[in-house]
Amino acid sequence: MCGIVGVFNKEEAANYVYLGLHALQHRGQEAAGIISTDGESFYVHKGRGLVNEIFNKKGIISSLKGRLAIGHNRYSTFGDESLANVQPLYAHFDLGNIAIAHNGNLVNALGIKRHLVSEGAIFNSNSDTEVIIHLIARSKKTSFFERLVEALSIIKGAFSLIIMREDEVYAVRDPWGFRPLSIGKLDDAVVFASETCAFDLIGAEFIRDVEPGEVVIANRDGVHSYKPFKNRSEHKCVFEYIYFARPDSFLWDRHVYSIRKKMGEVLAAESPVDADIVIPTPDSGVPAALGFAKASGLQFDFGLIRNHYVGRTFIEPSQSIRNFGVRLKLNTAKDVLDGKRVVVVDDSIVRGTTSRRIVKMIRSAGAKEVHLRIASPPVMSPCFYGIDTPTKKELIASSHTIEEIRKYSTAESVAYLSLEGLKSIVGENGYCFACFNGDYPIEFEK
């Protein structure tokens, strides 16, 4: 996934980027970085871990000087764990300095990289974002804008980008529009962020989304919009609605929370079940479970209680103490579950192992029946556009029937939201449904 933020023309710009990254922490917890500029030098700080952990030493934020800054939350997708892969990337090239933050995944990066390398380019990271910098640097066009456009015309795949030069900040979405990117306003400053929840935190006003294929430039002459790319049919990632985006964000003109509730409603209509209560898997299943309960008339309740202190750094108990996995995060509310026929609503199933553990926990808390309801269609194909799904083999729905999944999960019944049901909510067109139906808008090139 990854979350990106950019601020143009605000005193202590890095501080706002820091807060924006905090609001986007759910999009990536592995690493983060901020690069700022005062128009002369570029200031960099990166690290592994949560935004808080990386920037909480006195003096770090204030060392990131200037009125322009961009930042990046890394969610491991492509490239190894080296700090060299942590974004934003920085480079010096013939038009000066550049910093770039990228959300998404290119499908033809390997081929381009191979070509660039054969022409003498050197790579210091495994990030496919480095390819973009090389393409800009090697373009024969004269202006930065033309070179950027040329470079972005060569790459294919998902790219929401925020790019900073000494005196301007660019926001770009690929022509397919896979990943989100929004424009906000904070006094005289222009703010870009993956999701609007970042604007809410820093008190910025949401203006509009960057459109697919649009290049937005914020500089001293104002905000400028260009559509320099060949038209492509829009393929926004529907999984942003299902799982990735924060429920309080407005995404592509819709409130994520409402979309998710609606998914639960449609699911209840499609796959009703005779039960006593509806419970969510916290926290991602909550809106859908509320929708399911509302539509079905069943009682909504919390049968699984989450421990909020489970952090990224929780150390593994020793060998003699096993299987703590799900229990470290969740415990059952036995009174709620005991003797009940329970519908448990989750947003999606990937490998199936967590669902199985949860069904077992619920049953051992006394539930008479456990019915698993999934507020999205079966995930059958891997994503090539920036989501770290496992290989096809590991996706339980790619190799198992619903009945086999039910047996594995040990639930009395399992039902998914149908693809038609999903489309009835978000619309027939304009979305990438590849993970559900295998229709890839662009093939991955090896």
Residues annotated in a binding site for [4Fe-4S] cluster: 237, 383, 432, 435
DSSP-derived secondary structure for 164-190: E-SS-EEEEE-TT--S--EEEEETTEE
User: Pick from 61, 163, 183, 395: which binds a copy of itself (CB under 8 A)?
Assistant: 61
Site for a copy of itself contains 78 (CB under 8 A): no
> Which residues in the 197-226 window bind a copy of itself by CB under 8 A?
197, 200-203
Q: Which residues pair with 34 in a beta bridge?
A: 45, 71
# of chain residues touching a copy of itself (CB under 8 A): 87
Contact 160, 140 (CB under 8 A): no
Tokens of 286: 């909550």
User: Pick from 40, 58, 222, 429: which binds a copy of itself (CB under 8 A)?
Assistant: 58
Amino acid in position 30: E
Helix (H, G, I), strand (E, B) or coil at 406: helix
> Which residues in the 332-361 window bind a copy of itself by CB under 8 A?
332-336
Nearest distance from C-beta of residue 393 to a copy of itself, angstroms: 24
Dist. CA 200–CA 363, nearest whole Å? 40
Q: Which of 1, 2, 131, 135 is catalytic?
A: 2
Nearest distance from C-beta of residue 17 to a copy of itself, angstroms: 11
Quickly count: other Cβ atoms within 10 Å of residue 341's Cβ. Answer: 16
Tell how strand 277-280 and strand 299-300 pair up: parallel
Tokens of 194: 């993956």
> Cα–Cα distances in Å, from 277 out to 93, 292, 305, 333, 370?
61, 10, 15, 13, 10
User: Pick from 48, 78, 84, 269: which binds a copy of itself (CB under 8 A)?
Assistant: 84
User: Pick from 40, 120, 297, 428: which binds a copy of itself (CB under 8 A)?
Assistant: 120
Site for a copy of itself contains 297 (CB under 8 A): no
Contact 91, 98 (CB under 8 A): yes
Whether 197 is catalytic = no
Nearer to a copy of itself, 134 or 156 (CB): 134
- Quick note: the x/- pattern for a copy of itself over 298-337, rule CB under 8 A, is -xxxx--xxxxx-x-xxx-xx-xx--x--xx--xxxxxx-
Dist. CA 268–CA 271, nearest whole Å? 5
Site for a copy of itself contains 154 (CB under 8 A): no
Task: Tell me which stretch binds a copy of itself (CB under 8 A): 90-98, 226-234, 387-395, 429-437.
Answer: 90-98
Site for a copy of itself contains 402 (CB under 8 A): no
Nearest distance from C-beta of residue 86 to a copy of itself, angstroms: 11
Residues annotated catalytic, as ranges: 2
